[in-house]
Amino acid sequence: MTSTIAELRTRLAEVRAAAPASSRVAVISTIGALHDGHIDLVHLAKEVADIVVVSLFVNPLRFGTKAELEAYPRTPDEDRLLLESLGVDVIFSPAASELLPNGAQTTQITAGDLGLRYEGRARPYYFDGLLTVEAKLFHLIEPDIAIYGKRDRQRAFLVERMIRDLHFDIEVALAPTVRSDDGLPVSTRIGMLDDRDLAGAVKLVAALEAAASNADRGADSCIAAAQSSLMGEQRIHLEYLSIVDPKTFEPVDDGHRGPALALIAASVAGHRFIDNAEIYIG
């Protein structure tokens, strides 16, 4: 496992030298505390690339307060062993001072207006911090492919836009959302809920299913059906529920016909959950 930029560059050079000249490099950026969703990202990376690089970096720019940053679970030894067992070629786990030597005063990428919507409305600092570190990793690793999960569709959209705008020669590949038996996207937060709160969180999945089942009646009906399915659920604090165009991430009107994304975010017992569903309105 590498922890400095110098070590990363040395290890990358060694791996590239040992691989065929045509080898492709995939990168997966994480903040650690790995779960089954991350395992699927590695499997996809190994399918589409010859060399797999995974970063483990609890990015302080993605957190609003010091308390929130310190509360995030850290399992570096378990993460390293898991990635090694999966055959990951390079693991990069830097300290904040290594990747962000000037701290919050570092030069930052801005996500613009879209970075302040949906996830960015609740965390206006989040996407600027995320894109800043992604750009640094792209510069250091020079990957051919960046791997993301479909659960984080807004993140993937903004990264793809940054790649185009900054002329990175990188493809983006999306892995399907890994779900638990009850349908919730696998995340570190699931294990923090008791049974009653977990049952409440499952209603978010039901809301997306309700939206999808009404897609033939238009976007307004999708939203109404999803909202109706959440009525009376006291454990859920709904933050947003939107139907957007996947090409622009702009909300669609009721006249929209074609592919769309239903987005939802809510807090359950103080823990935030996000999810989405691909739907076809027509």
End-to-end CA distance of the chain: 50
Rounded Cα distance between 263 and 273, Å, is: 11
DSSP-derived letter for residue 64 is S
User: Residues 262, 277: contact at Cβ < 8 Å?
Assistant: yes
* Distances, alpha carbon 237 to alpha carbons 73, 120, 206, 257, 272, in Å: 23, 17, 15, 30, 9
Integer Cα distance of 62 and 60 in angstroms: 5
Cα(137)–Cα(31) distance, integer angstroms:
13
DSSP 73-87: ---HHHHHHHHHHTT
Angle value at C-alpha 49, between 44 and 55, nearest 5 degrees: 70
Which residues carry out catalysis?
A: 38
| 9: three-class secondary structure by DSSP | helix
216-238-125-140 Cα dihedral, nearest 10 degrees: -60
